[in-house]
Amino acid sequence: MDPCPFVRLIVESLALKLPPVAKPAGPGVHPSATPCFCTVQLQDCPSSSSTQTAPLPLAVDPTSTTNSIEPAASTSAVASSAVVISLEPAALQRPPGRPASLTVAVYAGRTGSTCGFSSGRLLGRVRVAVDLELAATRAAVIQSGWVSMGSGRSAARLHLVVRTEPDPRFVFQFGSEPECSPVVYQIQGGGGTRHGGCVRQPVFSCRFSTDRRRTTRTTSPPTKNNRRRCWFGSLGGERGHESREQRKGWTVTIHDLSGSPVAAASIVTPFVASPGSDRVSRSNPGAWLLLRPVGPSATNWKPWGRLEAWRERGPVDALGYRFELMTDAGPNRGVPIVESSLSMRKGGHFCIDPGVVEKSGPFGGGFVMAATVEGQGKVSKPTVQVGVQHVSCMADVALFIALSAAIDLSGDACQLFSHKLRKELSQDQQENIP
């Protein structure tokens, strides 16, 4: 498999040094008395059009009554969360000799906006030229240290480190919606979310099925002695809610080109409306179990991960989710990996990316995977990206493909129960498929 060239643009070690004030005019007047933040944007790049925001700590000299600090100060006093911009292959295709422009705008005040305008007061901007042509081939530090946002001693200074590193990824796309049992293609060439001029090669088939038997009975979780051998026999659920409609019995099996099953995702906790409502609540989420076959015959399956999903309440109608890796210690001893949410209306990305700070954990550092999730009412053909360092064989990829199908189908499972499911998700339609 040939990966697609991606690049991670990282802005880190952010801090602000404000000019000293000899005679403060009063409390709250000098920006040091208010929070500061910055926005980071890479101009003219199709995959990084959105602006990212990060808090901006002040670099303070503890021996001074002001916030003055020498420009040569150790960066150990500079602490800030890193901003990571993932650049797709399309963003790397620029005219020779034309670098991209990274803009960091610094504001005093709190993050947010009022009537479409930023609520902060602009203190200054810093622009850094980024050579994306070289970024895909080798890691580089582009900027490191303090940069003045004006002239003279009265100018504020920004500390930042800007660097790039290659981040090759395998890219895949479902041929149609997961519930339609599509072929899964590998995208070679341009990659990313734009596949014009790319080569599409089939690598997996996706089989979606429902089981009516699992909608009429509830079984107990497997015992210690049969946990590894009987996952498919106990997928009826972990809680009984026979008095209300349940969405369960859904299974997605990923097959390789020879027809052998290499990964699966199946609902183990029904998606059921919480009492007095028509939605799946955070306190009672539905859950999928991600499985990998044990042995060449694939008669036994071993749990790999668990995905929980629910419908968030609040100002944004969102699909909440939580994913953890399973361990040999048992089904209740998983390792938390990611917990977040995405818009039910607009969709978004399911992403596992420990970032540039965290270098420990089951996956280690660096990008792991991302999958697109379309909003309600839109045709969903998930695009899946998997970091090269996390793939040793095609079976590894299949697990992420199954996980992508599960998060996509969770959007359907978390539809309001006042709405009917699409025919592809109904048991009656699936029972007629051989």
Q: Phi first, then psi: what are they for 81, rounded to 5°?
A: -70, 145
DSSP 186: E
Beta-carbon contacts of 19 under 8 Å, excluding residues fewer than 6 positions away, are 153, 154, 155, 156
The answer to whether the CB of 230 falls within 8 A of the CB of 175 is no
Q: Each residue of 305-328: pLDDT tens digit? A: 999 999 998 888 999 999 999 988
Q: Each residue of 332-391: pLDDT tens digit? A: 778 999 999 999 999 999 999 886 444 446 887 789 999 999 998 899 999 999 999 999
Distance CA 157, CA 342 (A): 36
Alpha-carbon torsion, ordered 311, 313, 316, 319, to 10 deg:
-10
Distance CA 380, CA 374 (A): 5
Up-side HSE of residue 242: CA atoms within 13 Å toward CB? 7
Distance CA 230, CA 75 (A): 54
The answer to whether the CB of 14 falls within 8 A of the CB of 38 is yes
- 100 pLDDT higher than 70: yes
Beta-carbon contacts of 317 under 8 Å, excluding residues fewer than 6 positions away, are 311, 343, 344, 345
Q: Each residue of 398-409: pLDDT tens digit? A: 999 999 999 999
DSSP 399: H
Up-side HSE of residue 227: CA atoms within 13 Å toward CB? 14
Rg over CA atoms, the chain: 25
- pLDDT tier, 433 (very low <50, low <70, confident <90, very high otherwise): very low
Higher pLDDT, 349 or 120: 349
Buried b (16+ CB within 10 A) or exposed e, 95-131: eeeeebebebbbbbbebeeeeeebebeebbebebebe
- Average of pLDDT values for 28-40? 70
- pLDDT tier, 244 (very low <50, low <70, confident <90, very high otherwise): low
- The per-residue pLDDT for 386 is 97
User: Letter for the amino acid at 100?
Assistant: A
Up-side HSE of residue 30: CA atoms within 13 Å toward CB? 18
- pLDDT tier, 171 (very low <50, low <70, confident <90, very high otherwise): very high
- The per-residue pLDDT for 327 is 87
Average pLDDT of the chain is 81
User: If we measure between CA atoms, which residue out of 368, 369, 382, 383 comes closest to residue 411?
Assistant: 382
- 32 pLDDT higher than 60: no
- pLDDT tier, 229 (very low <50, low <70, confident <90, very high otherwise): very low
192, two tokens = 């990313």
Beta-carbon contacts of 45 under 8 Å, excluding residues fewer than 6 positions away, are 87, 91, 100, 132
DSSP 4: B
Up-side HSE of residue 365: CA atoms within 13 Å toward CB? 7
DSSP 420: P
- 102 pLDDT higher than 80: yes
Distance CA 131, CA 102 (A): 10
The answer to whether the CB of 181 falls within 8 A of the CB of 250 is no
Helices (H), strands (E): how many in the chain? Answer: 4, 24
Distance CA 428, CA 434 (A): 13
Distance CA 328, CA 366 (A): 25
Distance CA 113, CA 179 (A): 40
User: Letter for the amino acid at 190?
Assistant: G
Q: Which secondary-structure segment (H or E) carries 209?
A: strand 199-210
The answer to whether the CB of 202 falls within 8 A of the CB of 183 is yes
User: If we measure between CA atoms, which residue out of 215, 233, 172 comes closest to residue 369?
Assistant: 172
User: If we measure between CA atoms, which residue out of 57, 40, 14, 42 comes closest to residue 132?
Assistant: 42
User: Letter for the amino acid at 184?
Assistant: V
- 131 pLDDT higher than 80: yes
Highest mean pLDDT pick, 36-45, 59-68, 147-156, 160-169:
160-169
- Distance between start and end Cα atoms, the chain: 32
The answer to whether the CB of 390 falls within 8 A of the CB of 358 is no
E strands along 328-368, which residues? 330-343, 347-352
Predicted TM-score (pTM) of the model is 0.81
Higher pLDDT, 215 or 94: 94
- 3-class DSSP assignment, residue 89: helix
